[in-house]
Structures are given as structure tokens and as C-alpha cells.
Structure 1
Amino acid sequence: MTGEEEQKRRAIQASYNPTIDALYQDDEVLEAVPFFGTLYETFVNAVARPSAPTGDAYGRGE
């Protein structure tokens, strides 16, 4: 499931987001799932939110 060919197949057949960034620029993937092209910049520039300040309440939206 982590290999490039499998991630490409899953992206094309079921729109699963690949973890291999090159697949967001792959012509076959973009033909099958055009919006992946707009997600590329978001994924490569994303910054994780820190969970340390909220501890166990992080996922509760409190």
C-alpha cells in the first residue's frame, strides 16, 4: 500500500490521497482526479497544528 504503483492505482480508482508527492503531478492521476493538482501546494506547504497546549482536549474543539 505504500509503494508508488499501488498509491497511483488507489488514487486513480478511488481518489485516495497518495503520500508520494510526485503523484500529485502525475498526468494519469490528474486526468482521473483533477483536483489533486490544486492540493499539491497545500500539502507541501502545510504546517501541523501543535497539540501540546491542549493535551487530551485537542480533538474536542473546546
Structure 2
Amino acid sequence: MAVANRYPDFNIFKLLASCLRRKRARSTTCAFHQFLLDDLSRLIHSGEMSDQFGAEGEAE
């Protein structure tokens, strides 16, 4: 299952910006963002997102 299906309003740039802003506060929200980033990382490494983004860059 892709990130877009799990989190319909998912925006990696907003997520990263928010996490970076909150990192100093060490809030529970940042911990949730870390969970999402870990989940995204797992999806990328498992190849589940390859069909969404394609492999155009790898072929060059």
C-alpha cells in the first residue's frame, strides 16, 4: 500500500518542514512525524513506491 493511500493528505515537504520546526521542542507531534518518516522510508526501501515515481532517473 502506498503512502498516498495510507495518508491521503500526505505532503512530504510540509511534513519535513513541520518536523524540523518542532524538532527543538521535542513535542509528541514531532514523534508522530518521525513515525510517518520511518513508514515512508520502509515503503521506499521495500520498493512499494517504485510504481508511483518510476525509475526514469535510474536508467540514465
| Shared fold, TM over 0.5 | no
Higher relative contact order (CA 8 A, sep 6+): 2
* TM score, norm. by length of structure 1: 0.29
* TM score, norm. by length of structure 2: 0.29
